Amino acid sequence: MATDPADWRNFSPGDLSFGFPTHSTGDVEAAVSRSCRAFGGWAALSFDERRGYLVACRERLAARSEDLARLISAETGKPLREARLEMGAVVAKFDLTFADGEKYLLDEEVGGGPHPARIRQRARGPAAVIAPFNFPIHLGHGAAVSYLLAGNPVLFKPSPMAVNVGAAYAAEMRAILPDGVFEFVPGWGETGRRLALHPEVRAVCFTGSIPVGTALARDMAEDYSKSLALELGGKNSAIIWGDADLAGAASAVADGMCLTAGQRCNATSRALVHVDVFEDFVSLLQSSLGRFIPGDPMLESTMLGPVISAPAVERYRSLVGCSVGEWILPGSVPTDRNGHFVTPAVVVVADSEGLDMSDLAVRETFAPILVIERIANLDEAVARHEAWKFGLTASIFSENRAIFDSLGDRLRVGNLYANLPTTFSPSTLPFGGWGRSGNGHPGGRGFARFVADEQAVQWRA
């Protein structure tokens, strides 16, 4: 892996004339050392004492919510309306985690055995949280709060493309928590790898690409006592059945492919549409996509902001250049804006075999691009969905509960929705992927199940 740059500076993808302060790669050894020194004292606190610190963090982040939302929008290009929703989820995550902690992290008395016994959860030690740019606070924050509540110090490495957001979030957490309990470790790929593989780091939560996640799992295999949670993205399908509310389905698919400029792990990247309603659905989808016009992400009216970087634009160009069918919306890169803007693109597939060998099938899209295929029956819908080895989310649009159950029981996904966008993933539910999408450790509700070591204790009466 290439050496991280010593220093770097980000520019707003929505306005490349706006530059952020320069940041430097963090010192992994020093951060881990501080985290290790803090571990004993933090783990020794009671559950209620740690929760008290986190309540204060919640109040501090709530007070800064608007400022942080604007920073998210400026540095990542996420539309302001979405950034505000992200900060709402960040604040709400505390109380959801407290409830999970009471369910999964408190001691449990066990009767019925030969001796009195108790099951208790023991903090592991420093935990590395490697966060993505698309939800630069929320996704890493959910894991961090669970680790902290269980007694584990956190080493937080934000995406380098959202390092200023990460720094601002870390500053709020560090202002409340004891020294060393929350360490901010900026950097690129090698920094994340060094954090994850450090022998004193006992848990890792990584949200990002399949190649990096696969490499981490392989490199960490020898240290099998270390916990690894992977959320590696998706190629998420919307299945449109013949009895669906087509207008509602078209709106949901448009939202799913275009929110955050398609840069969501649960974005809708394909639609499998029943032949009987194919033409009508496509027409309604094209109309619904008219809402998504590239614009300044800092404006409340904007629904489609830029993608994150120049390489992301080039990936978009490559994907819309795939010859797999008719591009009914060919997509474009506007030249009248000083940013990384792209437009929605839709291809109707003629050759499924060629599609399955293309980058549109094997790479996470992370852009507002949709592949549409025709299906004639349930077996074909399942076969086409399962041909792509991802398993994060899927949506089924039908007014018939039996159709939903028949399809849903056969789809290998961690998150399944009826008549909702594939992006509808509330924090009140678990969120984890199967297959190439991850190792099933949810990034949403219930992550507290994976943040401590279970210890069985018994004694002679």
At position 351, the amino acid (one-letter code) is: D
Q: Taking the domain 7-232+439-458, which CATH number applies?
A: 3.40.605.10
What is 236-425's CATH topology?
A: Aldehyde Dehydrogenase; Chain A, domain 2 (3.40.309)
Q: What is the per-residue pLDDT for 233?
A: 87
CA distance 360 to 440: 24
Contacts of residue 246, Cβ cutoff 8 Å, sequence gap at least 6: 240, 277, 280, 281, 284
Helices of type H across 373-447 = 378-387, 401-408
Q: Where are the domains of the chain?
A: 7-232+439-458, 236-425
Query: Residue 8's beta-bridge partner residues?
Result: 23
Q: What is the per-residue pLDDT for 3?
A: 84
Class of residue 258 by CB neighbours under 10 A (exposed 0-12, middle 13-18, buried 19+)? buried
**Contact call for residues 368 and 343 (beta carbons, < 8 A):** yes
Q: What is the per-residue pLDDT for 444?
A: 85
Q: What is the per-residue pLDDT for 221?
A: 93
Q: DSSP string spanning 154-203?
A: EEEE--GGGHHHHHHHHHHHHTTSPTTSEEE----HHHHHHHHH-TT--E
Task: Tell me if the pTM is above 0.75.
Answer: yes
**So which residues are the catalytic ones?**
231, 265
Written as six digits, the tokens of 103 are: 């369910």
Tokens 């509540």, residue?
149
| Average pLDDT per 10 consecutive residues for the chain, totaling 461 residues | 88 98 98 98 98 98 98 98 98 98 96 93 98 97 98 98 98 98 98 97 95 94 94 94 98 98 97 98 98 97 98 97 96 94 96 91 94 97 94 96 95 96 93 90 86 95 79
3-state secondary structure of 244: coil
Q: What is the per-residue pLDDT for 289?
A: 98
Q: What is the per-residue pLDDT for 1?
A: 52
Q: Beta strands of 208-299 (E only): which ranges?
A: 227-231, 236-240, 268-274
CA distance 39 to 42: 5
Q: What is the DSSP letter of 223?
A: S
Consecutive H or E run containing 149:
helix 138-149
Q: What is the per-residue pLDDT for 351?
A: 81
